[in-house]
Structure 1
Amino acid sequence: MAGANGAACELLGTCDTANQEMRQLSKRTQYSLRALYALARNYGHGPVLIEHLSRDEAIPKKFLEQILLSLRNTGLVASKKGKGGGYFLARAPEQITLGLVIRSIEGPLAPLPCASETQFRKCEECVDIETCGTRIVMREVRDAIAQILDHTTLAMVCRKVDQARQKQRGAAALVYDI
């Protein structure tokens, strides 16, 4: 299957040439989102200790420390030192979109530099940027991704997770009743 994936990467120009993988969210971003979801669930109940976040979200503590420092520097989280200290969201979960989070960590959402609105750069091998079919499609991809991520907040994700858990519990109860 690597061959097919590699061909798609080559065609789209969105691959990591070392391993021919399509661009995906980094571990740093995945862990950041998990930590932010946990802080969103706890919003209004005080700071959360890094040890608890690390344990509950299965994020290596040293990596989580770096992530939280970075998120604090971007203004997404704040911290309190001392007794009763820890990390908490700097804004309400309804005010933090996934687009904001991902851009703060990964940079532009566009799969190609020539499709980026904020960090546009012409591709080296591009013959005609205005008529490049790949660029035209990748701009549509960028717009679709941005539409979803810029309109999805941490609070919305937490509600979706709660609904999925309730549904899962309901399905589990049906299995045991049989």
Structure 2
Amino acid sequence: MSLTIKSCYAIRGLYEMYKLQNRIKDEENIKISISKIAESSGISQEFLAKIFAKLKKAEIVSSEKGKFGGFYFTKAPEEIKLSEIVEVLEEPLNSYDCISEGECENQKICPVEFVWQRVRKAIFNELSNITLKDVIECGHKKEALASENE
């Protein structure tokens, strides 16, 4: 069971999208292009586009095409739980047969299933308690500390 770089990049991309939107405060539903998010986050545009396509399918973000198009949030950051993001991208942490839906041939006699089920549940419980707003607040604090130390 593992979390991949996709989840990290998704959270980082959403954080950067939020920051970019807040620089343009006069409009509603501000749309940010994937190229701006990629540039701001330092993540490959192609990889980020694939991640954001999955986030769009899960209705965490939406997008519009065209000259003034781009991505925007479908929910407020305090409504977006990290567990939603991870579940969409990690599909859903089923690295072991005993966690995936009954695919293990030893499931009835194997004591290890209990371990991975508990670990998976603990991870998702913790991720359900953290919102994108929490990440944004943490990011703002870190950036403020970094600028103070310059």
Using the size of structure 2 for normalisation, the TM-score is 0.79
Does 2:69 match 1:85? yes
Q: What is the CA-CA distance between 1:74 and the residue it aligns to?
A: 1.6
Q: Which has the larger radius of gyration?
A: 1
Aligned length: 144
Identity of aligned residues (%): 26
Runs (5+) with no aligned partner, structure 1: 1-22, 174-178
Contact 2:78 2:131 in 1 (8 A): yes
Q: Residue 7 of structure 1 aligns with which residue? A: none
Q: Residue 31 of structure 2 aligns with which residue? A: 47
For 1:43 and 1:152, the matched residues in 2 are separated by: 21
Amino acid at match of 2:120: R
Does 2:51 match 1:70? no
CA RMSD in angstroms comes to: 2.4
Give the SS at the match of 1:48: coil
Larger RCO, structure (CA 8 Å, separation 6 or more): 2
Q: What is the CA-CA distance between 1:53 and the residue it aligns to?
A: 0.7
Using the size of structure 1 for normalisation, the TM-score is 0.68
Q: Residue 138 of structure 2 aligns with which residue? A: 160
1:1-12 maps to which residues of 2 (within 5 A)?
none
Choose from 57, 63, 66 the match for 2:41. Answer: 57
1:104-143 maps to which residues of 2 (within 5 A)?
104-109=88-93, 112-115=96-99, 119-126=100-107, 128-129=109-110, 132=111, 134-143=112-121
Runs (5+) with no aligned partner, structure 2: none
